[in-house]
Amino acid sequence: MIKVSGLTKDYGARRAISNLNFDAQQGEIVGFLGPNGAGKTTTLRILTGYMPPTDGEAIVAGYDVVEESIEVRKRVGYLPETVPLYTDMVVFDYLKFMGDLRKIPNVESRVDEVLDMVGLTDRAEGYIGNLSKGMRQRIGLAQALLHRPEVLILDEPTIGLDPGQVVEVRELIREIGKERTVLLSTHLLNEAQNICDRVLIINQGKIVAEDTTENLQARLIGAERVVIRVRGEADDLAKTIQQVKGVQGVETKPDGAVEFEFSSGKDLRPEVAKKVIGSGYDLLELRPLGMSLEEIFLELTGPDNKKK
C-alpha cells in the first residue's frame, strides 16, 4: 500500500530526510519512531501529498504522490501533528465540511458514525475552541477516518490524551489496522510496541533500524535497568547494591531511589533483593525501567555503537 524508494527532501541547504526506503502492506500497522527533527513529519507530509519530495518516489495506494496527488489524497486519512482545527466552528459542522470536501455520500450520518467511534457524540454541537486538547485530538482522528481511507497516516496520534483515552485510541487504531494500512509516528517506544507490527527508527533523516518490535527490542536492549527504593539513605543503599556481582551503572536519584542495571538474560533482581533485605533495609520498591527511545538511540547512534 505504501512503497517509498530513495525519498529525499531538502529545506534549502538542510537535508531533512535522505534516501528513505520502506514499504507497508495492507493490514499492517507500521510505527515511525524518531526524536524531534528526525524527519518523521516531513516524510508523512510527503506521503499525504502535502509537499513534494526533492528526490525519490513514493507510491501510496497505488498512486504516485507527485504525479497523482489528488488520487492519493482521496485514499489517505491524515492526522497532522498539531491537529489544526477551525476553533470557531461547531464540531459537527467542521466534520461535515471536511466530509463535503471528500464528497462523502450521506455525510451527516457518517459524521455521526465517526463521532461515535471517537466518543464525542455528546460534543457534536459544541464549539471546537471550547474543547480540551485530548478531544481535539479525537476530532482530528474522526476527520482522518471520515472517508474510510485505505491508508491512515497519523502523526503522534496519542499525544495530549489522558491514559484512558490513549488506551481507547490505540484500540481504535489496532481495529482499523486489521484491514487498512496504518503508518503512525511516535516517540514512545511502548506505544510502538503496543500497536505496531513493525517499527522504523529514523534519526537525522535516515532509517537506522527496521524490524518487528520484538526483534528490535531483543536486539537493542543489551542491558536491563531497574529502579529500587528502600526506607533509608540512598547513598548507603547504592554501596550495598554495588557489592552484588554483575551490577553496573549504579546511580542515586534525588528522590531517594537508586537505579542500576545488569546484562539482559541474567536477571539479578532476586539477588539484589536478597542482599538489600539481608542488609536490614525495608524494601519498598523494585521495578524494571522500560528502555526509552532515547536510550535506543544512544544504542544505535551513540559513540559506543560506532566502536563495535
Partner 1 sequence: MRNIWTIAKREYDNYFSGPLAYVVAFAVLFLLGIYFALIMFFTSQSAAMGGPAPESTPLNWLFVFLMIFLSPALTMRLLSDEARMGTLELLLTAPIRDFELVAGKWLGALMFILTLAAATLVFPIILNNFVQPSIDWRLVISSYIGLILVCSALLGLGVGISAIFTNQFAAFFTTLGLFFFLWFMISLPAGLLQGGQGGEVFKYLSLSSHFTESMNNGTIKLGDIVYYLSLTALGLFTGTTAIEIRRWR
| Contact residues for partner 1, defined by CB under 8 A | 11, 45, 48-52, 70-71, 73-74, 76, 78, 80, 82, 84-89, 93, 97-98, 100-103, 143
Nearer to partner 1, 155 or 261 (CB): 155
Nearer to partner 1, 91 or 189 (CB): 91
Nearer to partner 1, 48 or 203 (CB): 48
Which burial class, exposed, middle or buried, applies to 294 when counting CB atoms under 10 A from its CB (0-12, 13-18, 19+)? exposed
- CA dist 57 and 19 (Å) reads 10
H/E stretch holding 298 reads helix 293-301
- Min CB(69)–partner 1 separation in Å: 9
Residue with cell 551513540: 302
- Min CB(21)–partner 1 separation in Å: 23
- Min CB(294)–partner 1 separation in Å: 27
Nearer to partner 1, 85 or 173 (CB): 85
Q: Which residues contact 146 (CB under 8 A, 6 or more apart)?
A: 77, 95, 98, 99, 102, 104, 110, 111, 114
- Min CB(72)–partner 1 separation in Å: 9
- CA dist 85 and 82 (Å) reads 9
Nearer to partner 1, 51 or 167 (CB): 51
- CA dist 279 and 240 (Å) reads 8
- Min CB(82)–partner 1 separation in Å: 5
